[in-house]
Structure 1
Amino acid sequence: MNLAPYPGHKRTGIEWLGAFPSHWVVKRLRFATERIEQGWSPQCDNQAADDDAWGVMKVGCVNGDQFDASENKALPPELDPKTEYELRPGDVLISRANTRELVGSAAIVPCDVRSKLLLCDKLFRIDLSPEVDAAYLTFCLRTQAARHQYEQEATGASGSMQNIGQDTIKNLILPFPPYSEQQQIAAFLDWKTSQIDALIAKKRTLLEKLKEKRLAVITQAVTKGLNPDVPMRDSGSGWIGQVPSNWDVLKIKFVTELASGHTPSRSVEEYWIDCTIPWVSLNDSKMLREKDAISETHYQISELGLANSSARLLPAGVVVFSRDATVGLCAITEVPMAVSQHFIAYICGEKISGKYLLFVLKAMNQHLQSLQTGSTIVTIGMPEVRSLICPLPTSAEQADIVDHIDSVTARIDQMLANAETAIARLTEYRSALITAATTGKIDVRGWQPLESSP
């Protein structure tokens, strides 16, 4: 799609905003709104309200550019709802407290929203002036220009929770074309982003199927072996099922040394100076979810911190395994590392290879979910860890199984990488398109959707 630029531009004098069409105006959002308010957050259980019951929205309801009505908490029956905070179709919502990447996320409440949903105090609701189109403004709030302003003003002690105040919203500097042009830009972006979103959804579906296939390859190999003609016997374990009759089935602790970790005291500053020792923590969860091996960590600890904690430096080749938060994330260490108390480390003996054990742990993921306890932060207890069972072929067969899995999953991993790259490029294009349209870099005044378009 080739869209021409506007014929005339003028400079804003604002480096990060650049030039804009000469008939547009740039102003602070306070001059385009009539009211900004935040809601009410009573103590609620972390479960969604029934469709006919009152619910208080969670801040995540505006993540991902779309309003999600299911992101709510049921209002306790003993509390009367503050009906002045009930959401209305067309409300523009902005998160005022979230991670650095998500604070300032914006969405419009759709026209078919159900009743009895209440604004929470971590969301702003903006009542707009008549000359501002809600859909256009919401697209503006998703641009890098708006994000730049949020990040300049956000406060908070850590990246895990950042806050922006009403003044940050009111002082946002945004470009505004005439009202009819705002509507045209919003219609164009609705049409175009829906196409991009459909492509991204297809790629995400492909990702899930590839991940399922990868896990199926691993599970089949570590529980059934590579020869389909060998005699089988019952393993005595539900998640393993039948195994080749010449395999052992035993507890992992009998063929490994089990080590746990610790966190050096945060209150002793000296423990966190000159940190050079890789230290596996929950901050490495994303890497563990995506990789089979880990060579660096988000945090390091010092030799002094290690010496004054119950953690120990473990050799390379150890299999680390998360037992808290997201249970079952695992990888092999490629360099000596320590681990936090949220992890188990398996030091493999001569009867089991680290790579084979890694694949076994990945295969038992669903079984691990059945063992976990807790609601806010799930965990798997040490008695359950010590009872984990492993199918065990000979060392030679383990090596063959690992080679087979590596060969097949390498092809799957390449397809996963290609799909991830496609999603990243589509997401980047989506963002660039929104920025181009809402800053006047492309002229969509004469655009009309194709009749064959969805």
Structure 2
Amino acid sequence: MKQLGRYEQYRTTETEWCPEVPHHWGFVPIRRIGRVTNGGTPAAEPHFWNGEIPFMTPPDLRFADGREVASTQRTVTRAGVEAGSSTVNAGSIVVSIRAPIGYVGRTIEETAFNQGCRAITPDARSDPRYTAYSLVAARDELDAQGRGTTFMEVSGGQFLGVHVPLPPLDDQKAIADFLDDQTSRINTLIAKQDQLIIALGERRAAVSVQAVTKGRRAHASMQPSGLRWAREVPASWKVANIRRFAAMKTGHTPSRSNAEYWMGCTIPWVTLADVWQLRDGRATYLAEETATHINELGLANSAAELLPAGTVVLSRTASVGFAGIMPVPMATSQDYWNWVCGPELLPTFLLATFRAMRSELGSMVMGSTHQTIYQPIAAAMSIVVPPLDEQREIVEFLDNQTSRIDALIAKTEEHIKLAKERRVALITAAVTGKIDVRTAGRAIEGVA
């Protein structure tokens, strides 16, 4: 970035997050920059929901970083607002104060919000854009005010007492204009990098499907498979029910009401809390340490089994279709179907198969409230199984190809991370007066 100048004089604020501001700026508690409103959630009555008023919650603010929030996941009716929520007008700032703390966004129309947020309607001394950016910069300070046991929350008094810079209105507008321009450039770069990751992921999936269904041997004669996800496969491959090649095992949860089942737990127990590591399809093996463990007594008194290393797990409830391999003996919850491969099937090839079947697995889900792949459907799955030497060839090929793609994805993710850090640093520098944006050029190095 072009070297930006500093203001001529500064004064101390006696705060850690913003130790000094330009001499002519204010540094005031949030209560002095506008009206603060608490949120609420209407009861689950049909006539309170799916109305004309956006209903903002912390997840709606997650990626806003002080910008306008164009849409919300849910909406409420006027009756819903009157029964249990609050609204603010366009140009207000909504801040999440729990689960998590410090997401910030601006409203573009009358908006309701839940008790996980507070809204600020700036007064005449405050530019809404600058105010939102200043709260983005104060995120760590807001987070430090959180208190609680079940979850962290910033109380009303603590929120009102957080101090933020308050420059003269002309300075606020200049800073907001500068940040609108420069963060837009950074956001465009991030969006392009996000699209690249999507494209690389699609390429990775296509490589996997091609290898698992066609193999690596040129000019192999093909045969119809009878499967939707693999129309034709090499004639030398077997197409049969998965249970011909792997033993199907389930998982279970020991009784929570018996404390003895949950004391001195040392057995790794795979639950939905561990599925995050499988979502992007890059990890072959689960981590050896799981989020939760069970003990021998709980295992013996439930339908869970201690399964051998090399067992392939397939998530089947809520987060459906994510697969990985156990690196050590483990048990699982009932949220997984587990497959212990026989002598004709490599666990790594079955893992590649499940990942190639991702769309097919999604079509097996049943249930409205409780979505899952039920036992009869999982037990009826058919797969394609090449000879063992071809399985090894395919797995080796996929390891080579996907590792290259994964390296590109990792590099792109690092670029995104750095761009986001640069965006926050720029916002903080501008709203705290570390830089005088009136001396700014147009471009940020690497972004223009």
TM-score normalised by length of structure 1: 0.88
Structure 2 partner of 1:244: 234
Q: How many Å separate the matches in 2 of 1:325 and 1:47?
A: 27
Structure 1 partner of 2:330: 337
**Structure 1 residue 354 displacement after superposition:** 0.1
SS in 1 for 2:439: coil
SS in 2 for 1:243: strand
Pair 1:70-2:71 in alignment: yes
Pair 1:397-2:390 in alignment: yes
Structure 2 partner of 1:136: 130
Equivalent pair of 1:327/1:379 in contact (CA under 8 Å):
yes
Equivalent pair of 1:175/1:438 in contact (CA under 8 Å):
yes
**Structure 1 residue 240 displacement after superposition:** 1.5
Give the 5 Å matches for 1:12-411.
12-43=13-44, 49=50, 54-59=52-57, 60-65=59-64, 66-75=67-76, 82=82, 85=86, 88-97=89-98, 99-100=99-100, 103-110=101-108, 113=109, 118-143=112-137, 145-155=138-148, 157-158=150-151, 162-290=152-280, 291-296=283-288, 297-411=290-404
Q: How many Å separate the matches in 1 of 2:394 and 2:36?
A: 64
Stretch deviating more after TM superposition (353-362 or 363-372): 363-372
Aligned-residue identity in percent: 35
Query: Aligned pair in 2 of structure 1 residues 403, 189: CA closer, same or farther (>3 Å)?
Result: same
Instruction: Spell out, residue by residue over 1:183-209, the C-alpha distance to the aligned partner (whole angstroms, 9 max, x if none).
Output: 211111111111111111111101011
Query: Aligned pair in 2 of structure 1 residues 302, 23: CA closer, same or farther (>3 Å)?
Result: farther
SS in 2 for 1:168: helix
**Structure 1 residue 270 displacement after superposition:** 4.3
Aligned residues: 437
Query: Aligned pair in 2 of structure 1 residues 333, 45: CA closer, same or farther (>3 Å)?
Result: farther
Aligned CA RMSD, in angstroms, stands at: 2.7
SS in 1 for 2:197: helix
Amino acid aligned to 2:61: V
**Structure 1 residue 344 displacement after superposition:** 1.6
Amino acid aligned to 2:286: I
Q: How many Å separate the matches in 1 of 2:81 and 2:258?
A: 47
Query: Aligned pair in 2 of structure 1 residues 448, 180: CA closer, same or farther (>3 Å)?
Result: farther
Equivalent pair of 2:323/2:351 in contact (CA under 8 Å):
yes
Q: How many Å separate the matches in 1 of 2:303 and 2:183?
A: 52
**Structure 1 residue 378 displacement after superposition:** 2.5
Amino acid aligned to 1:41: P
Q: How many Å separate the matches in 2 of 1:45 and 1:211?
A: 40
Equivalent pair of 1:36/1:166 in contact (CA under 8 Å):
no
Q: How many Å separate the matches in 2 of 1:408 and 1:392?
A: 21
Q: How many Å separate the matches in 2 of 1:334 and 1:400?
A: 22
**Structure 1 residue 211 displacement after superposition:** 0.7
Query: Aligned pair in 2 of structure 1 residues 80, 305: CA closer, same or farther (>3 Å)?
Result: closer
What 5-or-longer segments of structure 2 have no aligned partner? none
